[in-house]
Each structure stands twice: as structure tokens, then as C-alpha cells.
Structure 1
């Protein structure tokens, strides 16, 4: 495993366990940035894996840009019409996000730089409502944005519904810092507002710090004003009022100043760590498929050779040579080349363990081989399919055992070869393998 993979998994693992804090991570993000470049430039990742995961690799590129530009991405979540887009606009001081009275105004994620906080590198991300009818795709998008964001503002306009409480817990499970904004606070009296804030703090207990539950008014209702002109005529006017988001903005700027670079590095490392695991699994799956093809090719070759070889016991020696050649091929598949002598020793270890577990099976094979010689070849039709099927089955066992040895880095693991081989034998359906082998051998013999 290369160094960049180890660093990414170390950062991700420590943060998931909760024994890593923002201050414990390189605040410049240098180590994570180097690891991200290692992931993007790793020549060992096959082209077909890169193509299949192109969107994920593009995310990594964007994260690298964020680290280099020292940006902190803030996602805004909440119910439909709770005022998420309006809050974003109020924080920005301009109309960057579309605001409407109908449900579902926000249909896709959009991002805009927080103008007043350009030096802190804050980027605000508006997201779809999490409770839209038929909006599963939009909700999924919102959680995907949370995964690649560094901090989350959860917007509510009253006491939390069960759906909101569930969403808040889910967001907290991403281990992103959370702020809860009670929007439309101007609708409530002072006592009502304090009571609601306390209720929100209770719902968010152990998820959000008390001081991070903040009242805001993103789009206050206009104020009714009576104006009297020079002639004494009265006019009723609706005077717009300024948004009140100063406390929330101050909190965001404080977090960005104190923890922004570290949060961005941690979250980039977490995402890239997960991506590294997915890449490794895809490569492993590809290798398993290729290895299965190699094992099957040698199963056919060995089964037919054993079935048609008229010389007593010589077929078993031939089979051993094929097993050694198969193991050499498997070593190449898994990027762990084996010499002929190494493969021979490995086959000997596996065969010894199989003989101890399945002596009766090998006994049948030896008897079949002897019969074939004693009958001058007349019993080939009777014994060939059975003996060839056993050879096929033995090849599967040897191939899978060798594969286990290679996957674990040329090691049998802490329990040794005996335990590993026994588990492989137990995991395979012998009857179905023998049935498939007999059918394939007979088909080839008829030709």
C-alpha cells in the first residue's frame, strides 16, 4: 500500500473514531493535499476503474482546488419553505439564490462565494428541501452535498418535526460541524422565541452545541408605517426591514478563522479515504473476475488432460505441473509474481492440507488412475469423466487457496494454512462443481 493511501485512511479512521480533532490535523492541509494528488495520479489504478468512477475523481479534483484556495464550504439544509435560500441571500448580502413561495423552488444545488468573507474562503451551498413530495432524488442530492461540505447550517422555522429530527441526526452522523438556525424569528415574541430556541437545543442535544443554535430573520415581514403628507392626508406604507443574520454570520466567520482549513482538510481526507476503499474494492473485484477465468481455464485443461492420459499415475504428475503453472498466473493477476519453485512449494503446502482433509477423495482419484492403466484404456469412458471431474475440483480448491494466500500479501494469516484451506473447502459447493465439471468434460470428450 502506498504512502498516500495510508495517510488518507489514517486521517479518516481517526476522525471516524472521534480521536482526531481539527487542531490535530495539519491546518495547511498539506498532507491531505499531497495524498489527494497521489490518488489522482496513481498509475496503478486501471483506466476502466477511473472511467467508472469519473464523477468521484472529479470531486477529488474540486476538493484539491478547495484546499489550495483555502475554501470552507457551508451547506444549508432544511425543510421546503423554511427559508434556506433566503438565509443564504441574507448572509451573502445579495440575491444569489432563487427564492419563491411555492414548494420545490430550489431544484438543484448551487454555490456562491460569501462576498464579505472572501478572505476566510467561505463558500455557501444552497440545497433542495429535504421533505418534498416525490423528491427522493433531491433529498439524495442534499445529502451528497453534505458529504463534500465542511460545515452544515440546518434551517428551521419552528419546532422540529419528526422528519426534521431524523434528518438532523443523519447529518450529525456525517461528523460535520452543525449549526441550527431558527429562521423567521420576527414572527415570535421574545418569550416565544426563547422557548423555541430551548426546544431546538433539547432536540439537538449531543448533536449541536447550545451556542450553535441561533435565531435569525432572513427575510423579515415589512413594517406597516403611517405617513402624513403636507396636506394632512394619511397614507399606509409597507416599509421593508433589514435581515437579522449578524449572529450567525459572526459564528461562521469565527469557525472559518479558527478551524476552517483543518475542517476542509479532514473532510477531504474522509471523502478521499472512502473513495480509496471503493477503488481498491473495484480493483479487487476485477482481479477476482480475472482470477476466476484463469482458474476455470486450468480446470478445463487439467480435467481433460487427466481424463485422456492413458499412463497410470502420470496424469496426476501432469496435473501437479498445471497447478504450479496456474499459481504462477494467479501471482501475476494479483501483482505478486511467483517463481516456478515458489509456486511449486505453495502447491505442495496446499495439496498437503487438502490430502489431510480429503484423503478419501484423492484415494478415489488414484484408484481411477490405476483402473485406467489396468484396463488398457478400455475403461476410459467409464472413469474419465469421474476422474477428470475430481481433477477439476482439486484445481478449484488449489486455485482458491492460492488466491487467498496472494490476497493476504503472500500470507496464510494468523491461523495458518490448515485453517485457511479448511475454510475454503467448507465454502465451496462440491456437488455443483463436480456436476459442472462432468458436463463440460463429457461435452469435450464427445468432440
Structure 2
């Protein structure tokens, strides 16, 4: 049963991709990884899970932020950059306590986007970011060109995000205010000002002075508690107001992305298959026309070959048509060809007439020439019909004349005719008619 809601429509879109019976086996095999991601996202929607990815440069404190939100040291942190080498996730239990009956929230740590020695890790981080329902874009000061570019990529993908200004404990109140204002200005159009949150996930050690009863002072070095309450509250607010919408939006965007990939693969397979079919019909048409000793009837044979070609192409593109419709399409293409190929068609008819005048004795001589012209014309008919079908039975804004003209302009007629003559001559020499 279909659910008429954004989340329900997202589920339906994902199911349609996974269960599409029209998807060719070759395409399904080539997209096994993408379809696996679709199935995983469908399961996430069924469970009501939300994935939040932390994104940012190396060393901005992504792992420390997750530890602070979890209230435990789950992920490793160190002064060395690049500690996170692969995406890691942890379930954030606070949502269940804060919002009864809600699905699970998973916090995903990612490698740094600027890890020079780990380009593969950077691609991995971007991929996780694309799959997440919400992104926490973590910075530790003013933004760099790398960060702005990453923000633009996320904005182009319509990815919901919060910007987390981490390590604010390193700055004075005045410096913090200046940096927040700078972030707001530099990220205008990419991050809303009310989506910038300050935090200190792992404050630096501080010296504490303790005075005992006798007045003796003792210095101790301790870390202050993490300052992430503002981030917690911002996340709760987003999840309460937009949780289901976030999941639906991300699933819909992902379904559209995979659908585009599938469409591209299907078109490529159809294009390759159509090219092979066109070449096959070109040779068949050329040989049939060249072998036919009866005047004019060879032209009828050529028409039959064109009809078979168009019907075959229509099936490849999933747009089957009857003979009458195929005949009208061929007539349209032939009419445009006649306008720009008059001399070639003249050779076609002249060669057919010569056959009659010599009682068929010149079949090898004229048949090769006429067969080459038939080969060439079949190539044009096939490619024009392919363009028409690939555009959903439409010539598009160019119209049939421009389409045919473009195809002709893109062909080397002399070399194609020479190639066709060689192939057809070899076939004719082996026939009894020659």
C-alpha cells in the first residue's frame, strides 16, 4: 500500500528502483553496489533511522565531538592528524530518552576532507556525507578555500547541515564573536546564521589552584568538561522538527541520483546495441540490394530492410511500433535525405536501371555501387531513427531536417562508401548471381 507522505513517497521511489522488472540484467549487475546502497537506505527508512555525518578538515575535532555527545570516549583522538582512517558510526541514545518512540540516530565520524596523503579517504568521507541525512560541518576557526568548496558541493546536493565552530575554548569572548561574524559572512548563501553552533568538545588542560585549610596552594592540571550543550539542543530541535523530512529528502535525492545513473547505463547499453544492429542491417541491406538482379525490386528490398531496422531499434528502446508508424518515420527521414543527398540517390536509381538494361549481367559492377549506397543510406536511416527513439519518439527542437543534416555532416561519406563496396563486393563474388 502506498503512503501519501514525503516519507512514504521516498520509500516507494526506493522500492521501485530495487524491484524494477524492466531493468536489464547487465545494468543490474553493473549497479549492484548502488542498488545495495538503495536497499540499505530503504531499511533505514523502515526503521526510522537518521544518519548524521561529521564532516571537516583533519584535526578539527570530529571524533572528540562524537565522544562528547555520547558522553564517553568511544573514538580515538590524539594530537596527530588523520587519526580517523575510515568511517565509524555510533548510536546516539539520547534521542530515545528525549523523544520516545523515535528511530535510532547514528553519528558517523569521517576522515578529514583535506588529508593530502589519503585521497581515497577524502572520497570516502564525501560519499558518507552524501548518504547522510544531516551533516555537521566542523570548523575550528575561519574557513579555508577547501572548506568553502566542500560547502558548495554539499549545497549543490541540497544537503541539510549545521556548522559547528569547535575548539572555541582557544579564543577569548571577543575573538569568538569576531570569528562567528566572519563565518557568517564567508558562508552566506551556504549556511544560515542560525545554523552556526559553538562548541568545545575537548577543552585544553587548565591549571587549577587548590588552597587547603592551612592556606597552602596546590596546582593541578585538569581538562574542563566538554562544552557541547548548545550543539545537543540544536540537534534535538532539528530532529524534532525535521527528522522525518530529513530522511525523506535524503532518500528522494539519493533515489533520483541512482535513477539518473541507471538511466545513463541503460542508454549506454541501448546505444551500443543499436550501433551493432545498425551496422548489421547496413550490410544486409547492401548485400540484398546488390544481389537482386531484378530492376526496381531491389529498391523494394531496400525499403524492407529499412523497415526491419526501424522496428528492431524501436524494440531496443522499449518503444515498439507498428509497420505503418515505422513506414512514416522512414518516409520522413528519406524525404530529408533526398534534400541533401540528391546525387547519391541518383546513383541508386541509375544503377537499378542499368541492371534492367543488361539483363542482370552487370550485377557485380552496378550491384557493388548500388549496394554501397544502400549501406550508406541504411546507416543514416538507422542513426536518425535512433536519435528519434532515444528522445522518446521526438525530433526535439532541431526537427528532422537538422537531425539528418547533423548525422550526414558527421559521416565521412567517401570512406564509408569505400568500406561498404569492399564488404559487399566480397559477398557478391561468392554468390551465384555474380
What TM-score, normalized by structure 1, do the two folds share? 0.87
Q: Does 1:345 align with 2:328?
A: yes
* Correspondence for 2:230 among 204, 226, 247: 247
Shift of 1:350: 2.6
Shift of 1:293: 1.6
* 1:203–1:440 CA distance, 2 compared to 1 (3 A): same
The C-alpha deviation readout for 1:113-132, integer Å capped at 9, x for no partner, is: 21211345432111111111
Contact 2:209 2:219 in 1 (8 A): yes
- The equivalent residue for 1:407 is 390
**What's the RMSD between the two structures over aligned residues?**
2.5
**SS of corresponding position for 1:435:** helix
- The equivalent residue for 2:78 is 100
Number of aligned pairs? 424
Question: Which ranges in structure 2 are unaligned for 5 or more consecutive residues?
Answer: none
The C-alpha deviation readout for 1:93-112, integer Å capped at 9, x for no partner, is: 22332222222111111121
Shift of 1:218: 0.3
- The equivalent residue for 1:59 is 37
- The equivalent residue for 2:263 is 280
Q: Does 1:68 align with 2:46?
A: yes
In 2, Cα distance between equivalents of 1:318 and 1:174: 54
Shift of 1:396: 1.0
In 1, Cα distance between equivalents of 2:399 and 2:177: 64
Of residues 426-435 and 35-44 in structure 1, the stretch that sits farther from structure 2 once superposed is 426-435
Q: Does 1:131 align with 2:110?
A: no
Shift of 1:219: 0.6
Question: Which ranges in structure 1 are unaligned for 5 or more consecutive residues?
Answer: 8-24
In 1, Cα distance between equivalents of 2:58 and 2:67: 16
- The equivalent residue for 1:196 is 179
- The equivalent residue for 1:43 is 21
* 1:203–1:349 CA distance, 2 compared to 1 (3 A): closer
Q: Does 1:296 align with 2:279?
A: yes
The C-alpha deviation readout for 1:267-289, integer Å capped at 9, x for no partner, is: 11111112112111211211122
* Correspondence for 1:314 among 297, 306, 319: 297
Contact 1:160 1:200 in 2 (8 A): yes
- The equivalent residue for 2:417 is 434
Contact 1:183 1:218 in 2 (8 A): yes
Shift of 1:321: 1.4
Contact 1:172 1:178 in 2 (8 A): no
Q: Does 1:91 align with 2:74?
A: no
- The equivalent residue for 1:21 is none
The C-alpha deviation readout for 1:69-102, integer Å capped at 9, x for no partner, is: 2222211111111111111111122233222222
Shift of 1:376: 4.0
- The equivalent residue for 1:175 is 158
- The equivalent residue for 1:270 is 253
* Correspondence for 2:352 among 365, 369, 390: 369
**SS of corresponding position for 1:271:** helix
In 2, Cα distance between equivalents of 1:220 and 1:357: 77
- The equivalent residue for 1:221 is 204
* 1:210–1:363 CA distance, 2 compared to 1 (3 A): same
What TM-score, normalized by structure 2, do the two folds share? 0.90
In 1, Cα distance between equivalents of 2:415 and 2:77: 63
* 1:197–1:401 CA distance, 2 compared to 1 (3 A): same
Task: Describe how 1:327-342 pairs up with structure 2 within 5 A.
Answer: 327-342=310-325
Of residues 401-410 and 56-65 in structure 1, the stretch that sits farther from structure 2 once superposed is 401-410
**SS of corresponding position for 2:59:** coil
Of residues 342-351 and 364-373 in structure 1, the stretch that sits farther from structure 2 once superposed is 342-351
